[in-house]
Amino acid sequence: MHPSRVNVYAKFETELAVRPDDIDLYQHVHSTRYLDYVLAARFDQMERCYGMSMQAFAALGLGWFMTAASIQYKRPLGWGDRMVVRTWIEHFTETGCRVAFEIEKLPTGKRVCDGYCDYTLVTLATGRATVLPDDIKKKYSI
């Protein structure tokens, strides 16, 4: 990452549990479910921690499209496991942001996976990228 884009933003946590339908043929959480956990945590944190929910974006005619994701798996989760999903904004771009995340198993605190998701702010009517308004960037810069 370019040094001028390094910022320190607040990290927020959401506790979740593995659901029975998250389990794959190998009796652990399917790899695709980890992004579901990050998305569920972000929805919670957008409303609870930043004070601007996904519904508030939609009311403005805006939405977030994921443009890239990277996950490094460390150890699996299984049926009945609980986890904490920690996310934070790593940096902003003109039209979006990178959200970094880490998932830890409870109660041990052992890292399950970490990574990032890149998001672009779009106008819902057109599906096209739009410049991130300063007031929204400020609200999410805590």
Pick from 122, 113, 116: nearest CA to 81? 113
Q: What is the pLDDT of residue 7?
A: 61
Contact between 122 and 133 under an 8 Å Cβ cutoff? The reply is: no
Block means of pLDDT (10 residues each) for the chain, 142 residues, are: 61 97 95 97 97 96 97 96 98 97 98 98 97 94 91
For the chain, the domains span: 3-139
Q: What is the pLDDT of residue 3?
A: 45
pTM (predicted TM-score): 0.91
The C-alpha angle 49, 55, 56, rounded to 5 degrees, equals 70
Q: What is the pLDDT of residue 6?
A: 53
CA distances from 35 to 29, 107, 124 (A): 11, 21, 22
* CATH classification for the domain delimited by 3-139, as one of 1.10.645.10, 3.40.140.10, 3.80.10.10, 3.10.129.10: 3.10.129.10
